[in-house]
Amino acid sequence: MTKNTEHSVQPLKIVILGGGYAGLSALITLRKQSPDTVITLIDPRPHHLIITRLHETVHSPLDSIRIAYAELAKRFNFEHVQQSLSISESLLQHWQNERVIKLEAGELSFDYLIVAVGAANSGAENDDPAVFDLNKLTRQSAAQRLEQFIAEPSVEKPVINIVGAGPTGIQFVFEIDHVLKQVHADHQLNIIDGHARLLKAFPRAVGDYVQKRLVEKNIKLYSNTFYSGMQDGAVILKDRESDQQTELPKGLTFLFLGKAPDVMLHANSSGQVVLNKTVLTRIFTAGDCSHFDEMGSNGMTSQSALRKGRSVAKNLLLHAGLIRFCLPYMHRDIGYLLSLGPGDAVGWVARKSTIISGLPAYVAKEGIELQYDLLLSGIDSYLP
C-alpha cells in the first residue's frame, strides 16, 4: 500500500471552536453525513445552553435549559475539551498553515477547523445580587432570586427594572409579569427602551402589539431613554432628546445591553474564512462571529446560526472530497417570534408582512423550540 493510499483511508479530523447553536448544528450534521469523522469540540463551558429559552428561567430551574457536553459527547461521539482560546489573525494563519492547535493538555492536529465562538454579552460583571445581566443569568438561578425578592418585606412598592427592550428584554418582562400575577405580588414592572419606537428592527405591527400588551398589564415603558448606569442600586436613565435624568428606585434589575462578537470573521459565500483577501481553505466559520458574502442571512439569530452551521459542515465535507467544490450559503430567515408569556406571542412568518399573534403564534414558537430539542436528541426535523 502506498503512502498516499494510507493517508486517503484515514478519517477526517475536525475541530470545532464553540458549542453554541452553530457549533452543535455543524457537529450533528458532520456526524450524520460522515460517521467516521473524528470530532473535537472546544468550549470553555461544561454545558450547552438553550439560550432561546433563557426567559423561562424566571420560573424554571436553570438546569431545564442546560445540557452537559459530556452527555452530548456520548450521544454524538465527539470529545469535549473544556478550554477557552483567543483568536487573532496571526493565529488563524498559523492554524491554516500548520493545522495544529496548542492546548493546555498538548497539541491537537486537525484537517479542518470550524470557528463558531458566537458573541459575548455586553456589560461588565456585577456582584450586586439585585442585578442580573445575561452572563449572570447563564450561571445563577433567576427563579430563586425573583422568589426571594418577592418575599422580601418592603415599605414602598417594590420595583423590577428591565433595561433593554430588545427581544430578550421583552420576553423576560412578560415572563416576570406572569410570575408576579401568579403569586398576587403588587410590584411595579418597568422596561427601558433606548429607541423612540418599540422593536424598531421588526415590522411596526409587532411593536404595536407588544406595546398594547404592556399597557394592558400595567408595565411601564420608558421609551427613547438610554441607560446611564447605576448608583447605590438605583437605575439612572437619561432622555435622548432632552438629556433629562431620571432615577428609578432601587429594586431588582435585569440588564440586557446587547451582545457583540469578540471576533468577527469575514467569510466567502461557502463559509471559508477570508483573511487579507486570501481564503483560508481549511478554516470555516459560522454563527454570530461570522459574516458571509452574498445573499444569505447574517442576522444574530439562532435560526441563522443553525443554518450557517449546517451549511459549513456540508461544504467542509464537499471540500474534503475529490471535487473540492463548495455551495453558497443562501438561507434567509423565514420568521421571528417573540414569547409574551404563556399562551401569547407575536412575530412574522414567511414574509415580514405576515404577522401572527396570540395563541397561534405561541404554538408556532413552541413548535420551533421543539425542533431544536429534537435535534439535540438526534432527530433532525429541519428542512434541507
DSSP output for 84-138 = -----HHHHHHHHHH-EEEETTEEEE-SEEEE----EEPS-----TTEEEHHHHT
Encode pLDDT of 138-153 as tens digits: 999 899 999 999 998 8
Do 174 and 344 contact (CB within 8 A), yes or no? yes
Q: Average pLDDT in the 239-261 region?
A: 89
- Give the residue, 289 or 122, on which the prediction is more confident: 289
Q: 174 by DSSP, 3-state: which?
A: helix
Report the relative pairing of strands 345-349 and 335-339 from DSSP bridges.
antiparallel
Report the relative pairing of strands 220-222 and 272-275 from DSSP bridges.
unpaired
C-alpha angle 230/262/100, rounded to 5°? 150
Residue 81 CB partners (closer than 8 Å, separation 6+) = 40, 41, 42, 43, 103, 105, 108
* Sign of the CA dihedral running 190, 195, 197, 202: negative
Do 97 and 280 contact (CB within 8 A), yes or no? no
Encode pLDDT of 42-93 as tens digits: 999 999 999 999 999 999 999 999 999 999 999 999 999 999 999 999 999 9
Residue 267 vs residues 25, 274, 292, 308: alpha-carbon distances, Å? 18, 5, 5, 11
pLDDT attached to residue 249: 87
Q: Average pLDDT in the 11-39 region?
A: 97
Q: 309 by DSSP, 3-state: which?
A: helix
Do 259 and 20 contact (CB within 8 A), yes or no? no
- The cell for 137 is 443569568
Q: State the pLDDT confidence band at 7, using cuts at 50, 70 and 90.
A: very low
pLDDT attached to residue 6: 43
Domains of the chain, first to last: 3-119+261-332 (3.50.50.60), 123-257 (3.50.50.60), 334-384 (no CATH)
pLDDT attached to residue 125: 64
Strand partners for 113: 15, 283
Model pTM score? 0.93
Strand partners for 66: 49
